Amino acid sequence: MERYMNRILAMLLLCCVVTSCYHVRTVADPEAQRDANPRTATVCIYLWGLVQPRIVAPECESKALQEVRTSTNLGFALITVATLGILCPLTVEYTCAKPCDVHPTPQ
């Protein structure tokens, strides 16, 4: 019985050690200038991705996003596992693109 408990404890420890967060980063244009202030929102995806949130960024002066980064952590992963994937919280960090100066070309 003690050997069985040691195996269970070892498996739980292994699960805790190898479980980590993940990050996904999407960049629109690596050379473009971006706003210095990233914004962060915590959103939830429901029903295994069937219901996804819509993130609106009205504060972006250029009406364009330069970079979007989604991430999760151990707590969010535990919530997802405990609800069997029905609820999946994520942290979304986005950076607005700087407005570009448009100069008309002489003809």
**pLDDT, tens digit (0-9, with 9 covering 90-100), for 13-69:** 766 655 556 666 667 666 666 667 788 888 888 888 788 887 777 777 777 777 888
Q: Where in the sequence is the domain holding 29, given as residue range(s)?
A: 20-96
Instruction: Kindly report the backbone phi and psi dihedral angles of residue 82, in degrees, each rounded to the nearest multiple of 5, phi listed first.
Output: -65, -30
Distance CA 86, CA 31 (A): 38
Instruction: Answer yes or no: is 101 within a domain.
Output: no
Q: pLDDT digits over 71-97, tens only?
A: 888 888 888 888 888 888 888 888 887
The number of domains in the chain is: 1
Q: Is residue 105 part of a domain?
A: no
Token pair 């996804």 in the structure block, residue: 52
d(CA 37, CA 17): 33
Residue type, 33: Q
Asked if the model's pLDDT at residue 12 lies above 60, the reply is yes
* Type of residue found at 104: P
CA angle 66, 71, 8 (to 5 degrees): 165
